[in-house]
A = this chain, B = another copy of it.
Amino acid sequence: MSQAGPAVDLDTSVGYRLKQATAVLHAAMEDVLRPLGLSITQYSTLELLAQRPGMSSAGLARGAFVTRQSMSLVLQGLESGGLVVKQERPSVGRVLPVELTAAGRERLAAASAAVRSVEDRMRSGFDDGDARRLAALLDRCVEGLRG
């Protein structure tokens, strides 16, 4: 590389590292969720519903970083599996609140434990405060890109 190098060096690029870490995390989560019959998006949706019961499909889509159309299909899968229920009548406007069923909460408990183990493995090389520092840095990335 004695010539003029590219404007982006993959070895030092934060974006590339981010993509790599996400890819590895994605694979690890798929490995532990597959035995439970859940995809990552399905798990994320259940986790969101546990923290915000009655959330709208559009809201879940934003929280899971997918489109409304994709979340609609995800919810169809979860509903046919008996893990969530969609109210038939709109609460306000066109919003059809979604909620976890007992089976959904049960499945989520197992999935959360599995994902927790993956997160612990991911932080296995961390010192005290590293997780907090990493979260803060990632937040600043998001703010910088949105501002």
Contacts and interface: CB of A to CB of B under 8 A. Distances in A.
Interface in A38-65: 44, 47-48, 50-51, 63, 65
Given A21-B141, A122-B144, A123-B144, A47 B133 contact: no
Contacts of A145: 24-25, 28, 118, 121-122
Most chain B beta carbons < 10 A, residue from A6, A112, A126, A135: A6
A14 B137 contact: no
Contacts of A116: 7-8
9 contacts: A14-B119, A14-B134, A18-B21, A19-B22, A21-B141, A122-B144, A124-B144, A125-B140, A137-B137
